[in-house]
Amino acid sequence: MKKNNYGARQWAPNYANCCTGCSHNCIYCYAKAREVYRFKRLTEADWPLEQVRMHDVEKKRKKLSGRIMFPTTHDITPNNLDACMVVLGKLLEAGNEVLVVSKPHFDCVKRICDDFERYRDLYEIDVDVNRQYRIIFRFTIGACDDQILSFWEPGAPSYSERKASLKHVYQRGFQTSVSAEPMLDTANIDALISDLSPFVTDKIWLGKLNHLGPLKKGADPYLMQEIRRIERGQTDASIKAIYRRYSDNPIVEWKDSIQRVVGI
Ligand code: SF4
């Protein structure tokens, strides 16, 4: 695997954020794990209360080399949408290519499309070779089953809202992609890929649910049962079987957790 070709670096060399905490409150959230359990800067009760960091909203944004992923340690929700719109606007106005990553709320996505339609189309950054889109959406959808989604991502939108958001962005002519990282229901990954593929212009990324070990500490019986189900679904044999089914499919891409298993 190439150096830096892992984690979020597979998607973008740069990132931007403007908020602390996230109302989606995903059980597996690495940003929550860092703030709450590692550095103890927030309590578990604080994490879902999104606090906009005004200094990050107000600061100037310049053109960076390479794509910027926004956000990475929170999401874009009705609570922080105004702040996110300011930051997104500054990033785009500075000439950056922005990868908007979200478990999407339909109304938030619609406003981004309305306000930033002028950044939708392909543009040339170098007349000879380099062509880019200014804005690409990547929606995290790790399962079709709302019971599974609402357990692991309790504050995030339902499957139907995420799919409707993807469809809306696609129909408005923006570039679209999906992250099924983490896959929360590998038994039904074929159904997810087939249901969402018609609205994807770029890629569907597949990845495992990492770092399950710490989640087991203090897990109640239902969480343990869910962790076991996830583990059974992402054994090396299961991952290799998924890889065999989609290795020739140009729309499917593999996160580092899968690349390691299948040796690419
Ligand atoms: S949406 Fe992202 S940032 Fe928010 S809790 Fe879930 S994993 Fe964390």
pLDDT over 80 (residue 111): yes
| 72 occurs within a structural domain | yes
Give a yes or no: residue 1 inside a domain.
Answer: no
- What is the pLDDT, as a whole number, of residue 121? 83
The domain spanning residue 70 has which CATH number? 3.20.20
Ligand 1 pocket mutation, candidates 17, 20, 25, 101, criterion most atoms within 8 A of CB: 25
> What is the residue range of 148's domain?
7-262
Residue 35 placed within a domain: yes
> Residue 2: inside a domain, yes or no?
no
Using one digit for the tens of pLDDT, what is the confidence trace for 43-63? 999 999 999 999 999 999 999
pLDDT (average), residues 248-257: 97
The residue contributing the CA closest to ligand 1 atom 3 is 74
Is the distance from the beta carbon of residue 261 to the nearest atom of ligand 1 less than 6 Å? no
pLDDT attached to residue 83: 98
pLDDT tens-place string over residues 166-208: 999 999 999 999 999 999 999 999 999 999 999 999 999 999 9
Strand order in the sheet with 204-206: 14-15, 68-70, 98-102, 135-140, 175-180, 204-206, 252-254
Could you tell me where the DSSP H helices lie in the chain?
30-32, 54-58, 81-93, 106-115, 146-152, 159-171, 189-196, 212-216, 221-233, 236-246, 256-262
Q: Does 194 reside within a domain?
A: yes
The lowest-confidence range among 1-10, 92-101, 154-163 is 1-10
Is the shortest distance between the CB of 162 and ligand 1 below 6 Å?
A: no
In a domain, 148, yes or no: yes
Domains contained in the chain, number: 1
Contact 209, 186 (CB under 8 A): no
Residue 149 CB less than 6 A away from ligand 1: no
Position 21 in a domain: yes
